[in-house]
């Protein structure tokens, strides 16, 4: 079973969850220092549109984690906060490549080190910076256009559009790293992995969204500093296993080529 091997790989490589957990912990601490602990308990779910390096910033509607674009758009007006948030986002782009490459190496049983992590991160760094800029501009442009045409319904339409694109190109970030591809060829490769393993991919996608939605619901409902701190580590653990499951599918497809 894919998930059994994924959790077994994570058990043998526990350092994999340190990268996202420490990054989120730093972003959370920096956010609290900058704006305090804001937000209140609510019933809310934020659907995840990101792959690769897990972050609670992908799940919560309150801009409290500094390594999140939402924090920059809501609190980045001042020069100091804006600069620090931008540095966090650049660091996230660097860590994305290192994290994904580490998942790949862990499944291959290859030796990993922090130096190799940084090397892998630097190799894909510029591509991920460009990728995040393109995605941010596309989201803004598409949402604005749909709202202008359809009004409030346009917000829902934009969510459906980006959710569909996310699922269709679920392997994009992984392919950009393990196959050393740019964005457009990575999109084609992502469709290829879907086509070659539709049942396994659909199963992992279902788990991916079920787990992330449950985390999002619980974090919003039990909004508290201790819950967020615990959520950082628990989410890093569970979602790293899910990311390993996607990577396992990639390995199996590549073996059959």
Residue 49 lies in a domain: no
Residue 196 lies in a domain: yes
* Tens-place pLDDT, residues 202-227: 999 999 999 999 999 999 999 999 99
* Tens-place pLDDT, residues 57-104: 999 999 999 988 888 777 766 778 888 888 999 999 999 999 999 999
**Distance between first and last Cα of the chain:** 21
Residue 53 lies in a domain: no
Residue 46 lies in a domain: no
Residue 190 lies in a domain: yes
Residue 44 lies in a domain: no
What pLDDT score does 76 carry? 62
Which residue has 């290859």 as its token pair?
110
The pTM score is 0.94
Report whether pLDDT(179) > 80.
yes
Average pLDDT over residues 26-33: 93
Using an 8 Å Cβ cutoff, are 35 and 72 in contact?
Answer: no
Q: Which residues contact 81 (CB under 8 A, 6 or more apart)?
A: 34, 35, 75
What pLDDT score does 77 carry? 62
Give the Cα separation of 23 and 4 in Å (integer). Answer: 26
Give the Cα separation of 65 and 136 in Å (integer). Answer: 18
Residue 54 lies in a domain: no
Give the Cα separation of 232 and 81 in Å (integer). Answer: 22
Structural domain count, the chain: 1
Note down the domain range covering 158: 2-37+59-256
Give the Cα separation of 235 and 53 in Å (integer). Answer: 11
Q: Which of 181, 179, 147, 182 is nearest to 161 (CA)?
A: 147
* Tens-place pLDDT, residues 154-178: 999 999 999 999 999 999 999 999 9
Using an 8 Å Cβ cutoff, are 146 and 154 in contact?
Answer: yes
Average confidence score pLDDT of the chain = 93
What pLDDT score does 71 carry? 83
Q: Which of 100, 98, 92 is nearest to 116 (CA)?
A: 98
How much of the chain is in helix, strand and coil states, percent to nearest 5?
80, 0, 20
Residue 192 lies in a domain: yes
């Amino acid at each position: 079973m894919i998930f059994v091997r994924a959790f077994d790989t994570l058990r043998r490589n526990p350092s994999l969850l340190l990268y996202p957990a420490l990054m989120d912990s730093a972003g959370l601490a920096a956010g609290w220092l900058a704006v305090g602990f804001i937000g209140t308990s609510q019933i809310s779910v934020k659907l995840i549109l990101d792959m690769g390096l897990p972050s609670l910033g992908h799940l919560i509607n309150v801009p409290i984690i500094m390594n999140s674009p939402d924090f920059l758009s809501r609190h980045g007006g001042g020069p100091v906060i804006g600069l620090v948030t931008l540095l966090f986002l650049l660091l996230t782009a660097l860590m994305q490549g290192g994290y994904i490459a580490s998942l790949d190496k862990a499944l291959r049983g290859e030796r990993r080190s922090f130096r190799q992590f940084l090397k892998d991160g630097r190799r894909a760094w510029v591509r991920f910076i460009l990728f995040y800029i393109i995605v941010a501009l596309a989201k803004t442009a598409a949402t604005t256009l749909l709202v202008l045409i359809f009004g409030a319904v346009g917000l829902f339409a934009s969510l459906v559009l980006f959710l569909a694109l996310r699922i269709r190109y679920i392997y994009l970030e992984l392919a950009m790293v393990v196959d050393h591809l740019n964005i457009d060829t990575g999109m084609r490769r992502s469709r290829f992995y879907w086509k070659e393993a539709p049942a396994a991919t659909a199963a992992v996608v279902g788990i991916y969204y079920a787990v992330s939605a449950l985390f999002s619901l619980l974090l919003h409902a039990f909004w508290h500093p201790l819950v967020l701190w615990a959520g950082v580590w628990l989410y890093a653990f569970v979602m790293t296993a899910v990311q390993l499951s996607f990577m396992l599918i990639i390995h199996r497809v590549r073996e059959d080529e």
